[in-house]
Structure 1
Amino acid sequence: MEHRLSKRIPGKLGLLVYKRGMPVATGQIRDASKRGLFIATDYTDIQLNQVLEVEFRFPERDEKNFRRLRAHVVRKSDQGLGLDLEGVDNDHFTVAALMQWLHQHHRPQHYFPVAGTVAH
């Protein structure tokens, strides 16, 4: 059984993955919490506990600045990477802004038609 210390918010936001200051891969944030991220990526040259940086920009905002977060890898799977934001130096404003953006832009997925409607 999985135990989460903070609520995860699903979403989709493209990003770049940096290793040792160099961009090495692209990916997409699939869910996030105040404590961590899961990013979908096919990049596999990563070790557990390795520190990475992820860089993203909120597409609908007027700002042109990219934001960067540091994290260490706590999980690897065929679908991507689980990253922990705790224990590394991050701007808490950036984490809060990411959580707010994902919350505002999350659209629930309906896999089955609602009762009384016909799927086309």
Structure 2
Amino acid sequence: MEHRLSKRIPGKLGLLVYKRGLPVATGQIRDASKRGLFIATDYNDIQLNQILEVEFRFPERDEKHFRRLKAHVVRKSDNGLGLDFDGVENDHFTISALIRWLHEHHRAQDYFPVSNSAMH
């Protein structure tokens, strides 16, 4: 049985995945908590415990800048990646804003479509 330390909020929000500062894939946040998130992506050139960055923006008209979070990979599956915020430097305001946005928006937001090939 899996025990979570914080509640996961389901939702959908497109994002870019960065590895070593370079964009390598697109994906979609499927759920998030104060501790981490799960992203749907077909990108798998990743090792467990590797640090990634994810970049997203809230699609409201007045939201023009992108937000970034760092996380390390704790789970890999055919459907995506489980990422944990623990042990990396992040803006807790951005994490709280993401959870609040997902809670308020239950429809899919596809601003970065998931594709079968990594960005080069």
TM-score range for the pair, normalised by the shorter chain length: 0.7 to 0.9
- CA separation in 2, counterparts of 1:60 and 1:76? 31
Match of residue 116 from structure 1: none
Q: CA deviation at 1:60?
A: 1.7
TM-score (norm 1): 0.87
Larger of the two Rg values belongs to structure:
1
CA RMSD in angstroms comes to 0.8
Match of residue 23 from structure 1: 23
Greater relative contact order (Cα 8 A, min sep 6): structure 1 or 2?
A: 2
**How many pairs does the alignment contain?**
107
- CA separation in 2, counterparts of 1:79 and 1:71? 18
Q: Secondary structure at the match of 1:94?
A: helix
Match of residue 106 from structure 1: 106
Q: Secondary structure at the match of 1:102?
A: helix
Query: What CA deviation, in whole Å up to 9, does each residue of 1:2-58 have, x standing for no partner?
Result: 000000000000000000000000000000000000000000100000000000000
Match of residue 4 from structure 1: 4
Q: Secondary structure at the match of 1:75?
A: strand
Residues 86 and 61 (structure 1), Cα distance of their counterparts in 2 relative to 1, 3 Å cut: farther
- CA separation in 2, counterparts of 1:8 and 1:61? 26
| Ranges of 4+ aligned residues in structure 1 off by more than 3 Å | none
Q: CA deviation at 1:77?
A: 0.1
Percent of aligned positions with the same letter in both sequences?
87
- CA separation in 2, counterparts of 1:37 and 1:81? 8
Match of residue 118 from structure 2: none
**Structure 2 unmatched ranges of 5 or more:** 108-120
Q: Does 1:70 align with 2:70?
A: yes
